[in-house]
Amino acid sequence: MTSFEIYLFLVILLIVSLLGYYLVDIFVPYDCSVANVTKEGFTTTTTSSSSSEKYGIIYCSKEETAKIICDSDDNYFATFGPTDLRVRKCPNIDLYKARIKGQTCDLDNFEDKKKLDECIIEADLFFLSTKFRLSEKCSVENGGWIDPDKMTQLPWKIGFIGPPDTDGFHYEGGLPHTRDKTTIILPLKVVKMTDKRRLTSLLIHEKCHVYQKVYPESCELYIADRLGYSKSRSRHSDRDKQIRANPDIDEFIYKDNATGKEICAIYEDDARHITDILPPACDDQRFEHPFEEMAIAVEEVSNLQSELWVRH
């Protein structure tokens, strides 16, 4: 389909879904079934409602989410230093994984699912909008880094995390993020407590991180040519033990070519929480990594920015 046909389809789908949800809620009992969802080469077996399946939205079961987080080959846990473990209230990775398995959950509330479905469709409408295509910070058509057609062909795959344990343990501090290449992890409280405008903005931000993982080559060109940054060193070096791990970024620390300064989030000496980092990253997440700067810029173009659920 052409971009216009996809855009028209999304608009019609949004209108039909709004009407259909209320009719389904009245006449059809809510039910879930296992289905294979395929979108642009990505196939996943998942538990989700038929309405979401039609659009290719994948809501992972709690078992699937635990497996994605704990068994992913994205090497995220390999970036942890001693401070990363301390702020997560775990002495080692094995215990962290064990505690994570008790916190994943299902999206089993009809209203929450309907709300999330609508926000996802709104996010895709933005990626196909004229505003997006004309922005030099967004679309490759105007000097940006995202191909809107490739973006909207990526699956929406989301897993969920429940509330903190009684001792305060909460996977990744209860912050939204991405794992493996295509999965967005959302705390259930974010879905319930965030208004649709801010939730759509958050989804746009996290989908940008998915795109960065699937299409790293387009990001590398933009980082070098437009942002003026270059790779400084690996995040796995011994000197990085005070640098905060973040599943939404790649394995490198970048530097500003103009100033020579590295861009990263460094923990405070007595850090007790994931958000306990030093300036300037504690005040603006753009200073943590180019991937964050790029995702935030796209959020700003959408004019839907959320300030509630970021890592600062």
* Helices vs strands, H then E, count in the chain: 12, 10
For 211-259, write each residue's pLDDT tens digit. 999 999 999 999 999 999 999 999 887 666 799 999 999 999 999 999 9
Whole-number pLDDT of residue 303: 80
For residue 82, the Cα-to-chain-centroid distance in whole angstroms is 25
8 A C-beta contact, residue 241 and residue 82: yes
Q: The pTM is what?
A: 0.83
* Separation between Cα atoms, residue 200 and residue 219, nearest integer Å: 23
Q: Residues 6 or more apart from 164 whose CB is under 8 A from it? A: 170, 174
Whole-number pLDDT of residue 235: 85
Whole-number pLDDT of residue 55: 76
Whole-number pLDDT of residue 25: 42
Whole-number pLDDT of residue 167: 86
Whole-number pLDDT of residue 227: 97
Locate all alpha helices (DSSP H) within the chain, ordered by sequence. Answer: 3-27, 50-55, 62-71, 82-87, 93-100, 110-127, 130-134, 148-153, 188-193, 196-214, 216-222, 290-302
Q: How do the domains of the chain map onto residue ranges? A: 3-215, 221-294
Q: Residues of the chain with pLDDT > 70: what percent?
A: 79
Write out residues in the chain with pLDDT < 50, as ranges. Answer: 20-38, 40-50, 306-312
